[in-house]
Amino acid sequence: MWLLTIIILCTQFSRAQVGGSATYQFLNLGASPRQVALGGKTVTNFDYDPTQGLFNPATINPAMDNQLSINFNNYVSDISYGTASYAYLWDRRTQVIHTGVTYINYGSFAGYDAQGQPTNSFSGGELAVSVGHAKNIPYTNWYLGGKEANEYAAPARAKYLNNLPPTFIDVGDADLFRDEDIQFVKNLIQAGVETEFHLYPGAFHASEILAPEATLSKKIWKTRYDALNKALYP
């Protein structure tokens, strides 16, 4: 009787190996250096970059005409990931056609049979091909599938900034967040918050990290350290 009970319990709680609960997760990886620099977040930019169309077809626009973007990442363990995108302005009536390829190669795997004996090695990967089209609806300002970000996601939209501590903000004039940072600085000053602001010509997002030996990068870091020392040791 005890042996039968143990067999039933073992059978009840055993399960097969789980390979995952979702598919096509590789499509959520960063499609461009600009997106990766933003922590993988998809900030909508209506400009010339064709990689935007891979994760938001609404951004396909005539400025992308004849633009080609190729990105490649080589991770550890032979895992590689890449994207390619191209946009073409067909004509004024059809407007822009966008094509894209996203792939990931998981590398080589050692094969074993049910008894644990080695068999042939094999590789694995995924590939997605997309074709998109966008056409502007004249005289409209419509945005579908979204809502306005709150003040914690976009500080420049905060309405009440009183009693905040002294604030230090710096940004490059080629940074995606430049205009929002400038607006936030204006709001802080209007609210009476002590604010130190630096705008660096020629600097883009995270340029001081990507090019740490550049003269401008060294200046950016020195200014930050000086502000930090001033705050900690007044």
Mean pLDDT of 45-69: 84
Percent of the chain's residues with pLDDT above 90: 31
Task: Say if residue 166's pLDDT is above 90.
Answer: yes
Q: Identify the residue with better confidence: 38 or 101.
A: 101
Q: What's the pLDDT at 182?
A: 93
Q: Is the Cβ–Cβ distance between 49 and 79 less than 8 Å?
A: no
Give the pLDDT confidence score for residue 206 in this predicted structure: 87
pTM (2 decimals)?
Answer: 0.49
- What contacts 24+ positions apart, CB below 8 Å, involve 163-169? 164/188, 164/191, 164/193, 165/193, 166/193, 166/194, 166/195, 166/196, 166/231, 167/193, 167/194, 167/195, 167/196, 168/195, 168/196, 168/197, 168/224, 168/227, 168/228, 168/231, 169/195, 169/196, 169/197, 169/198
E strands, the chain, in order: 67-74, 80-91, 95-109, 122-134, 167-172, 195-200
Q: Is the model's pLDDT at 117 over the cut of 50?
A: yes
DSSP 214: S
Is residue 193 within 8 A of residue 167, CB to CB? The reply is yes
Q: pLDDT (tens digit, 9 = 90+) per residue, 135-150?
A: 666 555 543 434 556 6
**Domain ranges, ordered by start, for the chain:** 23-134, 155-232
Give the pLDDT score at 145.
38
Least confident window among 85-89, 125-129, 150-154: 150-154
Please state the rounded mean pLDDT for residues 91-115: 85
Give pLDDT tens digits for 179-230: 889 999 999 999 999 999 999 999 998 899 989 999 999 999 999 999 999 9
* pLDDT tier, 75 (very low <50, low <70, confident <90, very high otherwise): confident
In angstroms, rounded to a whole number, what is the distance separating the alpha carbons of residues 29 and 55? 10
